[in-house]
Amino acid sequence: MWNSSRNSSQPPSKQQKREREWLAVSFKPENFIPGLIIGFILGLFLDLSSSPPNTQTKKKPQHLSLVSDNGDQELKMVLVVRQDLKMGQGKIASQCAHAATGMYADMMHSHRSILRRWEQSGQPKIVVTCKNQQEMNKLKEAAESIGLPTFVVSDAGRTQVLAGSKTVLAIGPGPKALVDSVTACAGLFSLW
């Protein structure tokens, strides 16, 4: 843009004068501030439009100090499936996958070291059941009260259940003892 080989004793060319004038006009407050505001709004629009449809409700892990204090603890994740929705086997598998990947995505932004440890231990996951939404809510509250991360899948309603139905709760990954203290009373999932 600026001719670096120009000698300082030579007068600036017409093109260089035009470039300087353009820059001077471009950075005037009456041009710069509206441009900044439009850029901010456009950035928000692009950021919001790139997120997937709201088919899941997320709760970011608030505090994982209990999880991250001891690096030698065994970690695991528990997926809690609602029995009252009477979902088919394929639907349950799909919803559990949503819960696990949703939790993973949340923790990628906030607790990568915990994910790394969980991956190195084989990513243990257990699927258990709960009777209904109220029981799922109690498990979620209990997990969050001791610092475990949670993620609830809210179904889009395209197949077997109504839109917005909370189908699966993911708890952890977290220390096995902590996760078990919340989910010990839940029954293991069985197809038969």
Do 60 and 45 belong to one domain? no
Instruction: Give CA angle at 85 (79, 147), nearest 5°.
Output: 30
Shared domain check, 137 and 94 = yes
87 and 113 belong to one structural domain: yes
C-alpha torsion angle, residues 71, 137, 99, 180 (rounded to 10): 40
How many Å apart are CA 65 and CA 120, to the nearest integer? Answer: 20
Query: From the CA atom positions of the chain, what is the Rg in Å?
Result: 27
Contact of 155 with 109, CB cutoff 8 Å? no
Q: CA 85, 90, 94, 97: dihedral to nearest 10 degrees?
A: 110
**Residue 60: helix, strand or coil by DSSP?**
coil
- Whether residue 73 sits in one domain with residue 126: yes
- Please report whether residue 5 resides in a domain: no
110 pLDDT band, cuts 50/70/90, is confident
Tokens read off for 175: 């220390």
DSSP state of 63: -
- Residue 8 placed within a domain: no
Residue 80: pLDDT band with limits 50, 70, 90: very high
Give the range among 11-20, 94-103, 134-143, 165-174 with minimum mean pLDDT. 11-20
Q: How far apart are CA 189 and CA 192, in angstroms?
A: 9
pLDDT (tens digit per residue) in 5-58: 445 556 667 777 777 776 666 666 666 667 667 777 777 666 655 444 444 444
| Residue type, position 56, single letter | Q
Domain, as residue range, for 165:
56-188
Does 109 lie in the same domain as 75? yes
Task: Read off the pLDDT of residues 89-103 as tens digits, 9 standing for 90 and up.
Answer: 999 999 999 999 999
pLDDT of residue 47: 61
Quick one: average pLDDT of 125-151?
95
